[in-house]
Structure 1
């Protein structure tokens, strides 16, 4: 088969442009007055907590801080510290302070970007990379706490779950390492306020690149931050999704965008506190146009407060780097707003210490959870699938549907457009009719279904609806190419497969459904590019799988509009990923009486990624709910024993699921 994905690539890029524009144009569209903003602000902040995996907020357990060493160079003292933002989640840092101090001083929380410092297999933490910032603040009348991130700290965790590790289940869990970094920053504020050297009412936050992003999140969530200078840490959704900047960022930069925000929403939560947006003009991963766009939109919120002097935009020449020009303006902004000092900067930021002087641990703690925090940071919903809720079946279904609509499928169109279902081609072969039927699922996706029906003129009572993933599509396409070669250019016709398709349902019509990304709309097969396409969907508050499920829902509606099928009931079938798509789609349609699901994943972790779904349900619970809505559900395939075990405690008379070993039904 000759693979040409150019059409699919063009469609998905057009789709990303359209969806991004919808989200971006909605930013502050209904905010006309300060009262409008203030009425909504806490709700937005609550949404941000949730999108970072911080709702409910973790318990503020004892920090258990430990100072493991200190060093003095000139007029700067540095302490090597660790605390636990939750039990076992160690935060390593360096606290810089003046060697001589008369009273409490303003403090800066410095959160680090991706500056790797590793020698002889030992990570010294990115806090050592950015040490010159802490030293400058200490030399100029501040206390500064510089903390490691989990990716490049002394204890090495993971920022690259979807970026590199194939951990798409992070989306299912609603997990992002940005949430861990934000929580560590919030607890770092707790630590700073516990220190007698710190004036707890005068705390600022800054950081560059990844640290710039965490600066945004910490300042947006916690009003103990009085002044913020995020450096090269934010740009527009358009830059990330349409222009491809997502390819240069790991997962720690992003919230799980459940509520479909553009990034000025994050920035506006800092208003009216002093905020300096700082960037260079040739930064390839935080482009100038997006930075200016964020500034322009957040400035409109500061205007409502009549306090435009508290928001600034600093652009200097250069690439994505920690330049002296960026530092000087940040230092002056903090001096102005935390110390009422407008003097010129006369000391440069320089490193004072050998990295070995800044190391916190001689040996890493055995109870650390940093390296595995992605497994537990966002709690997973847990229920025995054999325990049936004590409420009517309809209530179970309605509750699940509402949760899915709010937390998982919030990126579905609020109003479905016209399906415009049309038969575009029809052929006869071997006593069967084959029709190519197009419908519009969601612009720009006009999808093609293929109906294989017996020649009988009587309206059928049952229709097989087979949902295809890419592997199944390739098989079906080679068979249909025998009958419709002009529709399948580049596909090698296979008469044997056509005969199988013909014989599988000799008396019952079969409709083959392909959602976006499959068949004629398949996008690139390059694994790296496919990864970033999937990541783009999440930035839009969707997933590829979530929108493929929407396409199946729309396909079922389109089939129902066909005159020959309008009174028929449906038998829905799918295998692998398509089994999961079919299962979820069945919850949104009442005409399905039978289902056949082959190799259906047994848990969300192994299933196609759907935003937040592991927070409120699991695949077996979805299967149970769906089984209550149909006459028969067959589950089979290679994992059948796992499925049998899942439902082993349910009384047989209550079980509407049939386990079968026949994988043919899933074709």
Structure 2
């Protein structure tokens, strides 16, 4: 077995096991709070979610565009002090207030407010207050999504940091903003987006119960497909949580149930395999059936590549009309987006006078996960208790992927060596089922037995020293 075969085996196991133990409503109701806690922990946002008082958003409006059917407020807010989030707020005209709202989450496109503007425009025309927010990767303040993907920042894993956590937190604070607006009915909020925004739609909707309906587009796939079909190669860090508990996307989607969930995906999407989308839908459909909410989940498949399609756009508009405005109309009567009337990049720009000099967006990966304070240990008893808790936590989180039951070690000396005063042994052993490893042991020929041993861990590319 090589490393690819091993990873495929493990990924396939995660996907196949996902939700398999949930067979009745009451079992899910008991398990959901624990699973929700696990997910926010894997996102690295537990501390922020648990804050008694969230910091002020300090919303700043830098300009207003007055159009025939809606008004656009160009604004930014602070999801945390000096963590600036830029966005455009589309406010419909001629609709009775308060109105339902949509949070639109952007994918990986440059000039995001310009690129995706047709969607909030159409939502506003349909009577939804719509807030489009930028990501930290492609926004006016460019941060980093590509830590391990491009820059070799593998310490992110050690920190428990993923940009997914920042994006989810920014979206949660965007919902806070929407609920603070007098035009918005805070009990009728939906979330949607495509690609990276589609993935974030899953995550935000799973974490925040204020989301009453959601529609992820081209942002759905299993861990199995990402690993075994190499689609992971097309994704950056923001697509994944730190998977301490070995979840698949189905586990995330379960936290959305029984709220309305529309999944839209393209049949020839090169980074989100359609077969894996179907597998996720089938598993979640069973849970929705268990929760007596069969009509609240739907899958829309569209022809073509990783992109919106007229069918998916109309399905999304129709979904929110039904579940947030109680308007149920056929797809063929839903009007599509207008690509002709577009605002310029400059007209939608938020930071007209430049990026704030005190911004912490470009460095968020350095401070979002706070360092643990040194323990206060002043007795032997405290040391023993601290070590016990630390080891327990390491097994629960850091090393949770370890097999729960050790396999047969099958240790054998496979080669003996002699060089002057030194003896060498190549020892093979099975660390887990199907995975054979080797260690090289040397000792002086005159050393007494049993002999103390020093374990040397080599860096990648390093030879024995």
Contact 1:73 1:352 in 2 (8 A): no
Q: Of 155, 160, 166, which residue of structure 1 is paired with 2:141? A: 155
- Residues 427, 138 of structure 1: CA spacing in aligned structure 2 closer, same or farther, 3 A cutoff? closer
Contact 1:274 1:337 in 2 (8 A): yes
1:256 aligns with 2:242: yes
Deviation at 1:261, TM superposition (A): 0.4
Q: 1:201, 1:471 → 2: CA distance? A: 53
Q: Of 451, 456, 464, which residue of structure 2 is paired with 1:467? A: 456
1:114 aligns with 2:108: yes
> What secondary structure sits across from 2:144 in the alignment?
coil
1:238 aligns with 2:224: yes
Contact 2:310 2:336 in 1 (8 A): no
Deviation at 1:25, TM superposition (A): 2.7
Q: 2:355, 2:421 → 1: CA distance? A: 72
- Tell me what 1:303 maps to: 289
- Tell me what 1:346 maps to: 335
- Tell me what 1:15 maps to: 6
Output aligned runs, 1:29-428, within 5 Å: 29-58=20-49, 59=51, 60-117=54-111, 126-343=112-329, 344-350=333-339, 351-362=341-352, 363-383=354-374, 388-392=377-381, 393-428=383-418
> What secondary structure sits across from 1:380 in the alignment?
coil
Contact 1:51 1:174 in 2 (8 A): yes
> What secondary structure sits across from 1:371 in the alignment?
coil
- Residues 142, 462 of structure 1: CA spacing in aligned structure 2 closer, same or farther, 3 A cutoff? same
- Tell me what 1:644 maps to: none
Q: 1:92, 1:372 → 2: CA distance? A: 16
> What secondary structure sits across from 2:363 in the alignment?
helix
Q: Answer with 354-363 or 106-115: which moved more.
A: 354-363
Q: 1:378, 1:455 → 2: CA distance? A: 50
Q: 1:143, 1:352 → 2: CA distance? A: 18
Computed over aligned residues only, the root mean square deviation of the Cα atoms, in angstroms, reads: 1.9
- CA distances 1:630-661 after superposition (whole Å, capped 9, x unpaired): xxxxxxxxxxxxxxxxxxxxxxxxxxxxxxxx
Q: 2:76, 2:422 → 1: CA distance? A: 73
- Residues 429, 146 of structure 1: CA spacing in aligned structure 2 closer, same or farther, 3 A cutoff? closer
- Residues 442, 196 of structure 1: CA spacing in aligned structure 2 closer, same or farther, 3 A cutoff? same
- CA distances 1:76-101 after superposition (whole Å, capped 9, x unpaired): 21110111111111111111122333
Deviation at 1:242, TM superposition (A): 2.0
- Residues 470, 390 of structure 1: CA spacing in aligned structure 2 closer, same or farther, 3 A cutoff? closer
Q: 2:415, 2:211 → 1: CA distance? A: 64
Output aligned runs, 1:554-569, within 5 Å: none
Q: 2:440, 2:237 → 1: CA distance? A: 39
Deviation at 1:63, TM superposition (A): 0.9
- CA distances 1:203-260 after superposition (whole Å, capped 9, x unpaired): 1100000000111111111111111000011210111122222111111111111111
Q: 1:230, 1:349 → 2: CA distance? A: 21
Bigger-Rg structure (1/2): 1
Contact 1:299 1:311 in 2 (8 A): yes
- Tell me what 1:597 maps to: none
Deviation at 1:415, TM superposition (A): 1.0
Contact 2:70 2:91 in 1 (8 A): yes
Q: Answer with 310-319 or 339-348: which moved more.
A: 339-348
Q: 1:329, 1:396 → 2: CA distance? A: 54
The TM-score with structure 1 as length reference comes to 0.66
1:441 aligns with 2:431: yes
- CA distances 1:530-575 after superposition (whole Å, capped 9, x unpaired): xxxxxxxxxxxxxxxxxxxxxxxxxxxxxxxxxxxxxxxxxxxxxx
Contact 1:80 1:95 in 2 (8 A): yes
- CA distances 1:354-407 after superposition (whole Å, capped 9, x unpaired): 2211111112112211111111111111328xx644343433432321121122
- Residues 403, 274 of structure 1: CA spacing in aligned structure 2 closer, same or farther, 3 A cutoff? same
> What secondary structure sits across from 1:346 in the alignment?
coil
Deviation at 1:102, TM superposition (A): 2.8
- CA distances 1:240-296 after superposition (whole Å, capped 9, x unpaired): 122222111111111111111011000111111110011000001011011111111
Q: Answer with 416-425 or 177-186: which moved more.
A: 416-425
Contact 1:112 1:130 in 2 (8 A): yes
Contact 1:34 1:305 in 2 (8 A): yes
- CA distances 1:619-638 after superposition (whole Å, capped 9, x unpaired): xxxxxxxxxxxxxxxxxxxx
Q: 1:172, 1:432 → 2: CA distance? A: 38
- Residues 90, 431 of structure 1: CA spacing in aligned structure 2 closer, same or farther, 3 A cutoff? closer
Contact 2:97 2:183 in 1 (8 A): yes
> What secondary structure sits across from 1:182 in the alignment?
helix
Contact 1:45 1:221 in 2 (8 A): yes
Deviation at 1:105, TM superposition (A): 1.2
Contact 2:314 2:336 in 1 (8 A): no
- Residues 425, 374 of structure 1: CA spacing in aligned structure 2 closer, same or farther, 3 A cutoff? closer
Contact 1:11 1:444 in 2 (8 A): no
Deviation at 1:424, TM superposition (A): 2.4
